[in-house]
Amino acid sequence: MSGFELHLPAAHGEPRRPFVRVAVVMRRERIDNRWQPWRWSLSEIVAHEDGFGSQPRLLIKDDTQERWLHPGFKVELFSDDAEGYHLNLTTQQPCFWVVWRMEEEAAISDECIAVPQTVTLSYHDAGRWLDAQESVEQVPAPLEVLLWMQAFVDTHHVQETKRRKRPESFKSLQDRFGNPVRISTDKSRKGPGHA
C-alpha cells in the first residue's frame, strides 16, 4: 500500500498544520522462548484509508503470527520542531517513529495486545520517549513523505551558525571577586631574612 495523502496548510481554515494520516500495523510473532513464547513489534506504517474504519482490527492470525491494523493516526508537522524533522532527514534512514504500549487488560481482543499511542517524524520526540523508557520503534518513511517533510524543513528550519569557541587558555584569569589577576614569573623573595 502507498499513496500517502499529504495535507498542506490552507490559506483559510483547515488544515492549519501540514499533516498526513497513517495506519500502524503491529505484529505478534512466535519466538523460541519457553517463558515468553510471543513478541510484539512494529510491522509497518501505511497510508490511512477511510475503509479502515476507526477501530483496530485483526488482519492475519495463524500459529506463527498475528497482525493488527490500528487506523487513524494524524502525523502533524510543527514549525517549532523543524530541527527535529531536519535531524530525521539527515540520518542514514529517515523514518516514522511509533510509541506503543501493551494493554493492561484485554479490551480489543481476548488477550492483551500491543497498541500504538502516537506516531511522529520528529527526531526530538523520539528521543524524549526513549529517555522516558517508552517502547519506541521505527520504520523507514517513503520517499513521498520525505520530500513533503523536506519542503517543510526548507521553509521553517533555521540553521544555527556555529561560533568558534575561544580556547580556555585565552580567557583572562580572575580572582574570586571577579577582578583581573596579574601573574608574574619574577620570583619574589620577600620575607624573613630577605631584603
Residue 186 makes CB contacts below 8 A (sequence gap 6+) with none
Neighbouring residues of 138: CB distance < 8 A, sequence distance ≥ 6: 42, 95, 96, 97, 98, 126
The predicted-structure confidence for 92-128, as pLDDT tens digits, reads as follows 999 999 999 999 999 999 999 999 999 999 999 999 9
CB of 58 closer than 8 Å to CB of 66: yes
Half-sphere exposure of 26 (CA within 13 A, CB side): 27
**Count of alpha carbons within 13 Å of 46, Cβ hemisphere only?**
13
pLDDT digit string, tens, across residues 29-61:
988 888 888 899 999 999 999 999 999 999 999
pLDDT at 10: 64
- Tell me which residue has cell 523508557: 133
Per-residue confidence (pLDDT) for residue 35, from 0 to 100: 86
> How far apart are the two ends of the chain, measured CA to CA in Å?
94
